Amino acid sequence: MVLLMSLFDTSPKHDPKLLFSREKELADLVKYIQEKRWTILIGPRRVGKTSLAKCAIKQSGHQPIILDARENTNFTDNLLQNLTPNSNFQVTGNITVPNMPYISIGASYSKQVLKKTLDNILEGRKKTVLLLDEAQWFSNRRTLTMMLAHLYDYHYDTVTPIITGSAVGVLKSILEPDNKSPLFG
């Protein structure tokens, strides 16, 4: 009876046993995670992109960082809140992480701020998957691409992104960056 009810449950799945008819996609995505390959899952709404990603992360044994752009469209704010869930944030135009310099919300990108904040938070993390769910809703795609470029340059061995979205046109800036994008090349 539980299995039958799971067939008709439309909520995102976390357990690979409840993910039906996606065995090949799940195996491929787990393999990509193990190989540290960045992956973008694109498809129409409600086809199971988030469920597939969450199940693959669980099956891979990697530590998840899940950023849902529907909950917070500011990528930097969302990332830092998820990286430091037990910290007390003061949001007054800036995010303050205890014992670390601030990183501006939605402001300009600074390598110095990233080196002192993001890199310190990620130091010592192993086997992490950064799931950017519904990435088309992140409000500042320039900041998003800067952060992804930084993660690639400095955390390639430890952080593997999976990006999901249904708006192909919006995600095109990540898939096919122009020569001014930090992800170009």
Summarize the confidence of residues 65-83 as an average pLDDT: 82
Pairing, β 103-104 against β 94-95: antiparallel
pLDDT computed for residue 93 by the predictor: 40
pLDDT computed for residue 178 by the predictor: 72
pLDDT at 109 over 60: no
pLDDT computed for residue 91 by the predictor: 38
Higher pLDDT, 177 or 46: 46
Domain boundaries, the chain: 16-175
**DSSP label at 166?**
S
Range of lowest pLDDT (16-25, 80-89, 90-99, 120-129): 90-99
Q: Among all chains, which residue has been given the structure tokens 């969450």? A: 54
pLDDT digits (tens, 9 = 90+) for 25-68: 999 999 999 999 999 898 888 888 999 999 999 999 999 989 89
pLDDT computed for residue 110 by the predictor: 58
Summarize the confidence of residues 142-163 as an average pLDDT: 87
- Cα 173 from Cα 177, distance rounded (Å): 5
Q: For residue 133, what is the enclosing H or E element?
A: strand 128-133
Range of lowest pLDDT (32-36, 78-82, 95-99, 156-160): 95-99
pLDDT computed for residue 175 by the predictor: 64
- Cα 19 from Cα 17, distance rounded (Å): 6
Our measurement of the distance from residue 4's CA atom to the centroid of its chain's CA atoms, rounded to an integer in Å, reads 31
Range of lowest pLDDT (36-40, 65-69, 73-77, 100-104): 100-104
Higher pLDDT, 68 or 12: 68
What's the CATH superfamily of 16-175? Answer: P-loop containing nucleotide triphosphate hydrolases (3.40.50.300)
